[in-house]
Amino acid sequence: MHYISTRSADHPVTLGEAIVRGIAPDGGLYVPLEFPHFTARQFETDVELPQIAERLLAPFAAGDPLAAELPAICNDAFNFPAPLVGLPNAPAPLSVLELFHGPTNAFKDFGARFLAACMERIHRGQRRKLTILVATSGDTGAAVAAAFHGKPWVDVAVLYPQGKVSDRQAQQLACWGGNVRTFAVRGTFDDCQRIVKEAFADPTFAETHQLSSANSINIGRLLPQMVYFAQAGLQLWRESGRRANFIVPTGNLGNALACIWARHIGVPIGEIVLATNANQSITEYLRTGEWAPRPSVATLANAMDVGNPSNMERLRALHSDFEELQGQIGASSVDDIEIRGTIRRDSHELDRLWCPHSATAAKVFRRLLARGARGHWVIVATAHPAKFNEIVEAQTGREASVPDSLARLLALPRQETELDPTLDALRAELQKN
């Protein structure tokens, strides 16, 4: 299996090379040169996440040294569940794909742990340290920090927009120390993402620090995210013969693209609808065909506050014809008033607490029903509601119980550095080490 840039097929690389580089030399994102194809029958004996992951990802690692290590990598990365939970009180067939049972209680844990397991094996025997740069709008940075913390072969720099994440998210981002440095950037997520891209585009900076990326721009983050969509789709297919229809909250388009890729390679998935917040670059593009990135705006669903989602480049590479793309996915935008109302309503009617991001998908589900949608729908719950306790408890009057993994991180001291939104400011801080 070879990977090429979304901008040129001139320099194909293997999986390990694509993971280490993060971004292609021409600034594009790595995508498979060709996608494999599966049938549900091939997974008849595979039920658990590590089993499904090993079979699903084997073709993507073919021809790379990581292929021989894939069973161990999958066991390392997929050692917590992603249960598909039915909601019997829902007004139509509905399940929830719970992706928040990992060490930082967000779906990003799957991709971050897989990426760390791959990089550890790739870097084995090398003397120079890697530096992982990660821009985060809420949950990515904590997942990456947890996955790489304490690893002697790597340093991590986490950039997040100061004051634009929840208090508990900020604590999860800044509680690590050691080989993880956290920077509270005086700006937006788009500023954080721009700094990371500028760092990779600066050859001297990139070489001096031996940079790599752990954002969803890295193919090593995206590929494992297909696995839980595959498990859920296969489970529903076995139980009912129905294809699961997914509603995916999305900001930078990584999780949504993983669902789209999973369907593209043959996983039994039906409709895919993207739920966005008030940042409407994606929904406007799917409505008009005009791609117009814009500055991000702050919302309750802060991890989705992205005005220029990186993975749009991968999505357009997969479906270069706009009319074809429109036929493949839908999208719907949900504002803060609707997020609050959905959290409040579903707490009462469905006995379910949503984080603000999952609430966008729950609202879109109600809209789809009102328009006559049928079939079995799956809401993708991307984070535990306890990470957003101020919002959730204010709307419901119910306490969001704190998982043990979150409680441990909340008890740690906070360590972070404020940073101006420039590459020069980041350069100066990293040179202190």
Planar angle of CA 141, 142, 147, nearest 5 degrees: 100
- Is residue 164 included in any domain, yes or no? no
pLDDT the model gives residue 213: 78
> Which band of pLDDT confidence, cut at 50, 70 and 90, is reported for residue 122?
very high
Instruction: Give the total number of structural domains in the chain.
Output: 1
CATH number at residue 299: 3.40.50.1100
- Is residue 57 included in any domain, yes or no? no
Give percent of the chain with pLDDT exceeding 70. Answer: 100
- Is residue 189 included in any domain, yes or no? no
Asked whether residue 396 carries a pLDDT value surpassing 90, the answer given is yes
For the segment 75-100, the average pLDDT, to the nearest whole number, is 97
- Is residue 207 included in any domain, yes or no? no
Bridge partners (DSSP) of residue 95 are 86, 378
- Is residue 337 included in any domain, yes or no? yes
Asked whether residue 126 carries a pLDDT value surpassing 90, the answer given is no
- Is residue 211 included in any domain, yes or no? no
- Is residue 397 included in any domain, yes or no? yes
Asked whether residue 215 carries a pLDDT value surpassing 90, the answer given is no
Contact at 8 Å (CB) between 136 and 189? yes
- Dump the DSSP string for 380-428: EE-B-GGGGHHHHHHHHS---PPPHHHHHHHTSPP--EEE-SSHHHHHH
Which SS3 state, helix, strand or coil, does residue 105 take?
coil
**For 411-425, how does the pLDDT look when each residue is reduced to its tens digit (9 = 90+)?**
999 999 999 999 999
Contact at 8 Å (CB) between 386 and 400? yes
**For 398-408, how does the pLDDT look when each residue is reduced to its tens digit (9 = 90+)?**
999 999 999 99
pLDDT the model gives residue 136: 87
Q: Which domain does 328 fall in, by range?
A: 73-106+220-401
Give the separation between CA 13 and CA 2, rounded to whole angstroms: 5
pLDDT the model gives residue 374: 95
Contact at 8 Å (CB) between 137 and 251? yes
Asked whether residue 301 carries a pLDDT value surpassing 90, the answer given is yes
pLDDT the model gives residue 35: 98
**For 153-190, how does the pLDDT look when each residue is reduced to its tens digit (9 = 90+)?**
999 999 999 998 889 989 999 999 999 999 999 998 88
- Is residue 45 included in any domain, yes or no? no
